[in-house]
Amino acid sequence: MKRTPKQQPAPPLFDLTELQKEAHKRWGWSAKETLNTLQGLYETHKAVTYPRTDSKHLTSDMADTLKDRLDAVRLAPYRKDVAAIMRAGVPKPQKGVIDDGKVSDHHAIIPTEEPAVLERMSDAEKRLFDLIVKRFLAVFSGAYRYEAVTAVLEAGGERFHAKGRTIKDEGWRAVYGLDAEEEDDKTLPPFEKGEKLGIRAFSMTEGQTKPPARFNEGTLLAAMENPAQFMAGESKDLIRTLGETGGLGTVATRADIIDKLFNSFVIEKKGNDIYTTSKGRQLLELVPEDLKSPALTGEWEQKLTKIAKGELPKKKFMDEMTAFAKQAVSEVKASDKKFKHDNVTGKMCPDCGKPMLEVNGKRGKMLVCQDRECGHRQRVSQLTNARCPNCHKKLELRGEGEGRIFTCRCGYREKLSAFEKRKAKSNTGKASRRDMQKYMKQQEEPANTAMAEALKKLLENKD
């Protein structure tokens, strides 16, 4: 039996990429969805700081503003946690949160000093704001303390190892309550060295190794931020340069890059996983090797650094870029490889008369004209948030106009008009959340409350 006291500090504050990864992990949001929602919290509600940041730290000159920021989130969901932090004295975040050397242009995403009005936020904005506030409160809370327990058990002449933990102090995890992530190590029951335990049952299991999981938007963002593991054989200097400069793209452009790949139909989603399309795979075969490696970005970043230091003339770099672009285009033109559409349908474009292509868009199937200059598109089906009454999976909406119909993989079908009637009937007599908020805003404070009357009588008696 071995018991080792351990502690775990709160996770660092959010930068944009980390927040996008967390929102995808929890709710399946795309990087663009998270950025747009965050932009609303920043611009419309003034509730959070600048969103397009690559830092998870704060600057020392912000220390005096932390108390005001905690006061600003002293709202119903967080009041208890804010009060606990304030009772401990002057609020001071955990070690490493304030670090001037790790903040370049903008600091981590945290609440502003302006009190937030949750009633004015959309559901998506509330959920994202909740993530930011809880991460902010967590860094003011104590460390999560536990004992790591390792036990060796003997049975039938064989030794078995059991690992678990005994929680001593929830610390920052208390901020998350039921939302705290499950631990990999399970809690072990209390037992002592030499104790004999009864065996209820035993079983043998077989397993197989799995290939690396496909990318989803969260893991793709992480790979763009740190592509080192995909650069086997490249120089350590190039890998270090990409690590220092933030990887592929920036926090402000990665969401748009991923969106462009979807909108160009070179990648598609199946569930939450991202797959390359036939068009994407053919494109990778056509382009020069240099364009497919993160190393090229590293080389360009090194030259940009030299320009900034005055070690490389700007014109020389621009001439090299122009020559590289010309060479890449020439290679593609000279290649004997041909691009072939394998998703041509029998439907003709209503604008130019050419055959249409069926593609999987980010939110459903589409027909697009193969002539990029024409650009005609029409939706075939769209994945909606409406749920199947039989299996409760998301329904697809197919067709156009009055003939649109909901379909499900389980075989359920329902016309849009019938769905709307059923929905309206089920909501009859029920007030929506928006109706309730509107009603509450219309209510006026009573002119004479019981407290006001009591104070009035007290003053009259005093006179």
Q: Among residues 227, 343, 222, which one has the least CA distance to residue 279?
A: 343
CB neighbourhood size of 167 (10 A): 13
- How far apart, in whole angstroms, are the C-alpha atoms of residue 176 and residue 181? 9
Scored b (16 or more CB within 10 A) or e, 406-433 reads bbbeeeeebebeebeeeeeeeeeeeeee
The upper half-sphere exposure of residue 232, i.e. CA atoms within 13 Å in the direction of its Cβ, equals 2
CB neighbourhood size of 236 (10 A): 9
Catalytic residue at 144?
no
> What's the count of helices (H) and strands (E) in the chain, helices before strands?
15, 13
Indicate the pairing of strand 381-387 with strand 394-398.
Answer: antiparallel
Cβ proximity of 378 and 367 under 8 Å: yes
Report which DSSP code applies to 165: E
Indicate the pairing of strand 267-270 with strand 273-276.
Answer: antiparallel
Scored b (16 or more CB within 10 A) or e, 248-273 reads bbbbeebbeebbebbeebbbbbeeee
Report the DSSP beta bridge partners of residue 359.
366
Paired tokens of 85: 């932090």
Cβ proximity of 376 and 396 under 8 Å: no
Report which DSSP code applies to 29: -
Angle at 361 between CA 359 and CA 363, to 5 degrees: 140
| Catalytic residue (choose from 50, 176, 275, 412) | 50
Percentages (nearest 5) of helix, strand, coil residues in the chain? 40, 20, 40
Paired tokens of 110: 């945290």
Question: Chain centroid to CA 76: how far?
Answer: 25
Residues with a known catalytic role: 50
